[in-house]
Amino acid sequence: MESAKEPAQAVPFSSPFLPSSRWWSKETVAIVTGANRGIGFALVQRLAELGLTVILTSRDSERGHCAAQALRAQGLHVHCLSLDVSDPASIKTFVALFRMKFGTLDILVNNAAVSFNEINENSVKHAETVINTNFYGAKLLTEALLPMFRRSPSTSRILNISSRLGSLNKLRNPDIKNILESENLSEEQIEAVVRLFLQDVKNGRWEWQGWPKLWTDYAVSKLALNAYTRVLAKRYEGRDISVNCFCPGFTQTSMTGGKGKHTAEGAADVGARLLLLPPQELQTGKFFVGSSSSASTAASVVNSKL
């Protein structure tokens, strides 16, 4: 989600992705959460087309299996497992099943997310659900799966689907901004900021406490996810796991009511480029923003320090 303005006509992100250096194979295992539709589904399809083994996860088991079956009908190597990232018990069950069926992991895409607002709305009625899904869900799942990564400099990658709505410059509270900008930021500090936001929501004072103005609960969830990405990237720097964020921009999905400047397939194409960068071009702790340019490599996607 990039903007709440009325979108222009949708355009593709870029020309089709043609990898110049193939380091992956059918043995490369990728998990994509929230993937029965939208960007997640398109990303599963793109990765499977490129020859990876992909696990499509979905909160709704029936919809997930239907989505996976549609891709298998195209001859793609796709598996489906149920997962509700907002439910710690579901995460525990998923991880145990994944360990039994696959054992090791190379790529994790934290795509599952929710918002309960229309484009021009800004209610925080469901703030706790949004935070539990978009931030805590991604964090808990990542921490549970970290022991299963192969820890290879060429394959181990985590990509968190995020938004510029969660950029630090959207914060109007200087004290909170200073905390999140700190080079010594900790997970405990991030969670303290999240608790403060939920307390402000509970007490009815969130509107004048300097939180982001647009899609506030969603923006705070992505703000926390971006901060966690930076902390995790720093923790594993030099230890064979890259951790980055990717903002696909204002994309035509159910979350935006089908409105947007880009198609889900276009966003997935750029996401696949980032995920499959050659090892020598792989970075960590970056915030990538999708581009509608015709750049030939993922390195051309705009990126900045988180």
What would the DSSP string read from start to end of 18-67?
Answer: --SS----TT-EEEESS-SSHHHHHHHHHHHHTT-EEEEEESSHHHHHHH
Please tell me which residue in 136, 218, 228, 236 is annotated as part of the active site. Answer: 218
43 forms bridges with which residues in the sheet?
A: none
- Identify which of 221, 161, 7, 29 has the alpha carbon closest to the alpha carbon of residue 106: 29
Q: Amino acid identity of 283? A: Q
Clarify whether 228 is annotated catalytic: no
Query: 141: which 2 tokens?
Result: 């799942």
CA atoms of 224 and 191, how far apart (whole Å): 8
pLDDT of residue 14: 41
Low-confidence ranges of the chain (pLDDT < 70): 1-20, 153, 250-262, 291-306
pLDDT of residue 119: 83
pLDDT of residue 151: 76
In angstroms and rounded to an integer, the radius of gyration of the C-alpha atoms of the chain is: 18
Three-class DSSP category at 204: coil
DSSP characters for 73-94? TTT--EEEEE--TT-HHHHHHH
pTM for the whole structure? 0.88
Tokens 């020309």 correspond to what residue?
15
pLDDT of residue 222: 97
